[in-house]
Amino acid sequence: MEYFYTNEKHTQILIALLKAHGIKKVIASPGTTNITFIASIQHDPYFEIYSAADERSAAYIACGLSAESGEPVVLSCTGATASRNYIPALTEAFYRKLPILAITATQPIDRIGHNIAQVIDRRVQLNDIVKLSVQVSGVNNEDDKWACEIAINKAILELKHRGGGPVHINFTTTYSTIYNTKVLPDVNVINRITYKDKLPNVPKGKIGIFVGNHKKWSSKLTDLVDTFCEKYNAIVFCDHTSNYKGKYRAFAGLIATQENYKSPCCFVDLLIHIGDISGGYMFFIPQKVWRVNPDGEVCDTFRKLQYTFEMEEEDFFERYINITTTEKSKNTFITEWKNEYERIYAKVPELPFSNAWIAQNTVFKIPENSVLHLGILNSLRTWNYFEAPQSVLGYSNTGGFGIDGCVSSLIGASLTEPNKLFFEVVGDLAFFYDMNSIGNKHVGNNIRLMVINNGRGTEFRNYGHIGHKFGEDADMYIAAAGHYGKKSHLLLKHYAEDLGFEYISASNKEEYLNNVEKYLNPKITDKPILFEIFTDSKDESEAIRIMKNIEISVEGRAKKIVKSVIGEQGVNIIKNFIKK
């Protein structure tokens, strides 16, 4: 009888990635739980397989084979205590930095702790037997496939990372008996580039540089990125927290968040990902992604990662600038972006009184060389629709993405330069969570704090949030409405004034416009200023809906019609049907 590969999708992915990374040497020990892997590769002429009944001996054989050949070697064993016998040799490999990939087969890990035969807990490893341990489960959908590919790529790359060493994959099996798959699936192969490696070629076409939350840029890095953009037809996708202020800045907060329109500018042949976590929730459609970060981690935000460059950003751009090319540089992408930007922003209508309207009428007036802090989610989202002056730096707590310390972060930042203005826009729940911080005795007169008070976590009442379906009922527990004075016009006024702040407030557009100039005063005043603004959640939601639907394509219009006819549940049913 002729046998091919198992029908287990995750095992197929494992085999395909081993081949793609050039790993062929395998030491196999007998067992049932690892049959689908071994039976699948034993008839594939690519693999060089050796048998060893004793797992302790098998692992030492792998050490000798790897040390002599200079290649990674795979170990495969069954469940129960088989893997425990790898420990002595993996310890040897750890201290000798030998690239041994121990693939231990296991039943589903949710069976751990239920007195099920041959199930042991391999989720925690000794400190000096492997550099990395990953858990790989079955694949039932595209999310599972992505997670599987990332885990295996990460494990394989770690074999030679920073000197190399042993790595562990705990690999679940379904004990499938079907071996009729003749062709392995296409897989996303990720490689790591370090200073000693040859650089891959930048593809022709449109290049985007996506900048997440980023520290202050040096003038050198800005110049290098500008030169790179000019040479390779690239632009830099930014939000307020990106802090790139160069010639090729593409402020993407509105264009890349349209619900029913995908701008041609968001389709790029390569997206270079730098910086840290972005809270902009912007959507781009890259063919491939290169991540540049000295940590060298496999971080696949856009699910198209091809290379991770373990190097400083300055070194990356400088090395690519110094590559000699025969083609004349001509950046047409930035012109395309500017035209798209002007076209869409010209369509922004008058908004209801809301955080978005406030941003629209305020952000461009922020004094030069100030710093802008934004609370997570609603404030960051809405202020990302509109661009601040070039000299204004922006920050938000997108790392942990919690509401608990945004005001404290503002205060801490303001202490560094007492003669510079520090602004913040924050929602009421986030402010009251951190309100004790404005009583700190070190609070300076350079702070300008804006509190958008809608009496609840308005995020959970926005039309696009899953909490919206509950309507007013969401206020009870989901949106946490009714706390902190229920939009009292006196509570925060007395608190702020008693702590030495100048307090101003507004409940409509006219009141806001009458008071905002005091808030934006470019000179440091005698007191820090707290500007409380009272808005309504319905207006907040409507403003966001308008901003996300400035442009609607023919396809987007058709989707809206279908959704209005069959509803959200019907759309999900159709999506699931198509996937099957």
pLDDT in tens, 107-133: 988 888 888 888 888 888 989 999 999
Confidence of residue 553 (pLDDT cuts 50, 70, 90): confident
Instruction: List 25's β-bridge partners, or say none.
Output: 48, 73
Single-letter code of the amino acid located at 182: K
What is the side-by-side strand order in the sheet with 48-51?
A: 48-51, 25-28, 73-77, 100-106, 167-172, 132-136
Paired tokens of 316? 């990356």
What fold, for 9-188?
Rossmann fold (3.40.50)
Residue 363 CA, distance from chain mean position: 26
Q: Mean pLDDT score of the chain, rounded to an integer?
A: 94
Give tens-digit pLDDT for 363-418.
Answer: 999 999 999 999 998 999 999 999 999 999 999 999 998 888 999 999 999 999 99
- C-alpha distances in angstroms, 142 versus 283, 463, 573, 576, 580? 18, 27, 17, 12, 11
Confidence of residue 214 (pLDDT cuts 50, 70, 90): very high
Indicate whether 325 pLDDT > 80.
no
The CATH number of the domain covering residues in 355-546 = 3.40.50.970
Give burial (CB, 10 Å; 0-12/13-18/19+) of 126.
exposed
Other Cβ atoms closer than 10 A to 256: 23
pLDDT at 124: 87
CATH classification of 207-345, choosing from 3.90.550.10, 3.20.20.60, 3.40.50.1220, 3.40.50.180? 3.40.50.1220
Indicate whether 577 pLDDT > 60.
no
Confidence of residue 563 (pLDDT cuts 50, 70, 90): low
**Identical fold between 207-345 and 355-546:** yes
Q: What is the DSSP letter of 462?
A: S
pLDDT at 402: 86
Domain ranges of the chain: 9-188, 207-345, 355-546, 550-579
Confidence of residue 578 (pLDDT cuts 50, 70, 90): very low
Indicate whether 469 pLDDT > 80.
yes
pLDDT at 450: 98
More confident residue, 119 or 213: 213
pLDDT at 576: 55
Phi then psi dihedrals of residue 441, to 5 deg: -70, -15
The whole-number average pLDDT for the span 477-499 is 96
Indicate whether 568 pLDDT > 70.
no
pLDDT at 307: 98
Other Cβ atoms closer than 10 A to 506: 20
Instruction: List 506's β-bridge partners, or say none.
Output: 533
Instruction: Please give the share of the chain, as a percent, with pLDDT higher than 70.
Output: 95
Angle between helices 55-69 and 87-96 (to 10 degrees): 20
